Structure 1
Amino acid sequence: MFSEDNSVHKFSRIKNTNLLDEDDEIYNTRNRQDQLLSNSNASSPYNDRSSSSPMDKSPWSSQTNVNVPFEDIDDNFSDNVLMGSLVREEGHIYSLATSGDLLYTGSDSRNIRVWKSRREFAGFKSNSGLVKAIVISDDRIFTGHQDGKIRVWKVSSRDPSVHKRVGTLPTMKDYIKNSMKISNYFEVKRHKNAVWFRHYDAISCLSLSEDKTFLYSSSWDKTFKVWRVSDCRCIESVIAHDDSVNSIVTGFDGLVFTGSADGTVKVWRRELQGKGTKHFFSQTLLKQECAVTAVAVNPDTTVVYSGSSDGLVNFWEPGNLVFSGSADMGICVWRRMGMDHICLSLLTGHNGPVKCLAAERDDESAATERRWILYSGSLDKSVKMWRVSENSVPVAWKGCASGAPIAIPSSLPAAPSFEARNRVDGIQN
């Protein structure tokens, strides 16, 4: 359930490029500035720098003395200034991640660099090439690559500048064990099959659940996969879109958002099933001709943003109304008031349990009155159409005093609907 306003703002954008890569090796590096300062100490381990190491000479130059007249900047803008630049002398930057005062950068040069206070702090290398995504969970770093694999790195407890690769997703053990079963294969192209627990095309994005229990990966293979962080196993694969999934992000209330080259932004909800979890399609927020290249969520304000190749940024926030159908044959209309909900109306007319609901904006409603057309399906074999106004006066129902806040029932069958509030022209991706 969402509508769109027509206000538009413009920003600039850049395009993506694609490269290929191979498998892994590990290299460690130190802060280059610290190495220079320690040259006088012959016993320092930093002085022995192997000429064969690809991290010998940093391909970055830290430029903090940029030509920005800080002293001449108007006081009205003094809070928004360029603090410094890390200029890359080769390759392209494809991924960034922060953890405390550390910045991780991934590129197509196979290097993953770690920066602290705008200085090179550490580095490690994967021979798989292009690093398309980085997420950090405590002392572990997950990197997504062009070859469809996820590498897992761990920070040394003795030396925070040392990173060691501790695994690859899926693990070799799981791959060999599960690839023996014919039921684990599905057809990806004509005369070509692949196992469901491994991406067969480039990984485009990684995201961690709010509690860091699950790792989500999206791919150009049109799927997103769910990995259990505790044992690094793939527990679910979802064919999510008709084209490459360019972005995936976990949100609030167990929701997951995906954006695709097919021009759609979709919402998925995570539900407990027995001892495990499963993801179900909830709704499509956006459907357009041009590709969706990025999705972001602000969990505090429950606002969802998406960027597209046409330069537009769309964003949504939860709508004011929630509809709940029940086995008692009634439909309750709720108005959201922060974390509370007020019962506006009880719609009756069905002779059987209400099993499904759908809503859309009433185009005939006046500008001063927001109305919705609600459709309800029931086991009485009927579909009914209702007109609902957001300006309805709260009613007393089943012991609920008129206007008194009511906690929204935990048995609501659907995830929150979102209302598109704006479109912003331009995004950098």
Structure 2
Amino acid sequence: MMSPNFTSSAVKNDIGQTGLIGSIMKDDDLIYSLAASGDMLFTGTDSKNIRVWKNLKEFSGFKAKSGLVKAIIVLGDRIFTGHQDCKIRCWKLSSSNPGLIKRNGSFPSLTDFLKSSIKPKNYIEVRRKRNVLRIKHFDAVSCLSLNEELGLMYSGSWDKTLKVWRISNFKCLESVDEAHDDAINSVVVGFDSFVFTGSADGTVKAWKRELLEKGTKHSMIQLLLKQENAVTALAVSRESATLYCGSSDGFVNFWEHGNQTLSHAGALRGHKMAVLCLATAGNLVFSGSADKTICVWRREEGGIHTCMSVLTGHGGPVKCLAVGEDHGTSTVSDRKWIVYSGSLDKSVKVWRLSEQHAPDLKEIQRGFLTRDKPDQDHKERTNEKVWHF
């Protein structure tokens, strides 16, 4: 049953117009993560809840025993969640009842944990002379990324490690200890065997994957960025082989892939405060910020990026984004996308955007779209370092 503090709204007579097409809110939950799959939207909150939505209505949900939900990814009938309590959990949709979702296990598996715990060499010393098992995270799991083709999942943590998992049996194949000098805020599977990580230490690193007989080996081959400001978000465009990086100074840097390496190709200036999340779809790039806005960028020929519009209407920082193609209105000449934006104002807003046409300035259900140019006054930008997201 819907709780009385739940509200939702949708544009009446939706005929495929671009702009804000709906919003949902529950007064007791701050939105920290979300993922879209088919006609379902999954939201992770600070209250340990993972809620499932259909057509802007609460459809189902499930709850972890502990741990703010910092990351969600979906693969078929399985949902993977990363938590503040250092754990990665797996959940499964019932084949007979889609509204029923049960816990399917956690990473590492119990078998893997018991086998590893026997040997002293499998332990590492961490802060305050504490020994922990190498195959487990010992601080918040901040980010997850999937390589569906190889059946691998990557996890980044505030414990500064990057771990690689086989999703079929929850086994830890590799732990890259001290991958960064501070918390890892983002990990993303890239193109051409690349994996990218971004950290509160201000760096972005490119790792090359090598498949071994019984596992994987990742080697850092390129330090893409080293700066004072924390790296807060990463996203990859496979269509253009481009990596995007959001930082606490409000900038979005990007690199293009060529000749086995990546070259810095520019920076996008559209926010007055930290960029907290990024997403890509087709020729579009979306950046959500602590300034409560979402910038929509379009990549043109030659790698030039144009700010098509700035989406406003959230009452708090935009913490997470998810994008899916709107197959009902999308065409070959004009692809359209459904964008979900989750905020610390406890709401999720749903937008429809076109690759070819920026919406006219208008207000829809308390959400705004403008064609304002990104702020160019560097003096208004914050240089405060943001450590953990």
Q: TM-score, normalised by structure 2?
A: 0.67
Matching of residue 102 in structure 1 with residue 48 in structure 2 = no
Matching of residue 416 in structure 1 with residue 354 in structure 2 = no
Aligned equivalents of 1:180 and 1:149: distance in 2?
21
Deviations 1:140-189, CA, capped at 9 Å, x for gaps? 11011111111110110101111000101112232222112100011112
Question: What amino acid does structure 1 have at the position aligned with 2:62?
Answer: F
Deviations 1:15-37, CA, capped at 9 Å, x for gaps? xxxxxxxxxxxxxxxxx4xxxxx
The one of 207, 210, 218 equivalent to 1:271 is 210
* Gap change, CA 1:271 and 1:212, over 3 Å in 2: closer
Q: How does 1:114-133 map to 2 (within 5 A)?
A: 114-133=52-71
Deviations 1:226-272, CA, capped at 9 Å, x for gaps? 00011110110012100000000001111101000000011001012
TM superposition outliers: structure 1 runs of 4+ over 3 Å:
none
Contact 2:90 2:103 in 1 (8 A): yes
Aligned equivalents of 2:6 and 2:75: distance in 1?
26
1:259 corresponds in structure 2 to 198
Aligned equivalents of 1:182 and 1:202: distance in 2?
24
Aligned equivalents of 2:31 and 2:76: distance in 1?
23
1:57 corresponds in structure 2 to 3
Contact 1:243 1:260 in 2 (8 A): yes
Q: How does 1:15-414 map to 2 (within 5 A)?
A: 32=1, 57=3, 60-64=6-10, 79-211=17-149, 213-239=151-177, 240-319=179-258, 322=259
Contact 2:122 2:134 in 1 (8 A): yes
* Gap change, CA 1:200 and 1:155, over 3 Å in 2: same
Question: What amino acid does structure 1 have at the position aligned with 2:102?
Answer: K
Aligned equivalents of 1:110 and 1:195: distance in 2?
25
1:408 corresponds in structure 2 to none
* Gap change, CA 1:169 and 1:274, over 3 Å in 2: closer
Aligned equivalents of 1:122 and 1:91: distance in 2?
15
State the 1:210 CA deviation.
4.3
Alignment partner of 1:177: what SS?
helix
2:348 corresponds in structure 1 to none
Identity among equivalent positions (%) equals 53
Alignment partner of 1:417: what SS?
strand
RMSD: 2.1
Aligned equivalents of 1:129 and 1:147: distance in 2?
5
Question: What amino acid does structure 2 have at the position aligned with 1:423?
Answer: L
Single out whichever of 122-131 and 152-161 deviates more from structure 2.
122-131
The number of aligned residues is 273
Aligned equivalents of 2:216 and 2:67: distance in 1?
33
Aligned equivalents of 1:295 and 1:270: distance in 2?
18
Deviations 1:299-353, CA, capped at 9 Å, x for gaps? 121111111111111111124xx3xxxxxxxxxxxxxxxxxxxxxxxxxxxxxxx
Contact 2:251 2:267 in 1 (8 A): no
* Gap change, CA 1:193 and 1:58, over 3 Å in 2: farther
Question: What amino acid does structure 1 have at the position aligned with 2:10?
Answer: T
Single out whichever of 56-65 and 105-114 deviates more from structure 2.
56-65
Aligned equivalents of 1:234 and 1:60: distance in 2?
39
Question: What amino acid does structure 2 have at the position aligned with 1:246?
Answer: N
Aligned equivalents of 2:36 and 2:117: distance in 1?
36
Aligned equivalents of 1:275 and 1:290: distance in 2?
38
Contact 1:209 1:250 in 2 (8 A): yes
Alignment partner of 2:114: what SS?
helix
Question: What amino acid does structure 1 have at the position aligned with 2:7?
Answer: S
State the 1:58 CA deviation.
6.5
Deviations 1:195-244, CA, capped at 9 Å, x for gaps? 11000000000100141510111000001100001111011001210000
Contact 1:208 1:216 in 2 (8 A): yes
Structure 2 stretches of 5 or more lacking a match? Answer: 276-288, 290-318, 320-389
Question: What amino acid does structure 1 have at the position aligned with 2:93?
Answer: V
Q: TM-score, normalised by structure 1?
A: 0.61
Aligned equivalents of 2:5 and 2:129: distance in 1?
43
Higher alpha-carbon Rg: 1
Contact 1:206 1:217 in 2 (8 A): yes
State the 1:417 CA deviation.
2.5
State the 1:424 CA deviation.
2.6
Aligned equivalents of 2:68 and 2:4: distance in 1?
18
* Gap change, CA 1:65 and 1:299, over 3 Å in 2: closer
Question: What amino acid does structure 2 have at the position aligned with 1:296?
Answer: A
Aligned equivalents of 1:59 and 1:132: distance in 2?
23
Aligned equivalents of 2:113 and 2:23: distance in 1?
42
* Gap change, CA 1:158 and 1:192, over 3 Å in 2: same
Question: What amino acid does structure 1 have at the position aligned with 2:252?
Answer: V
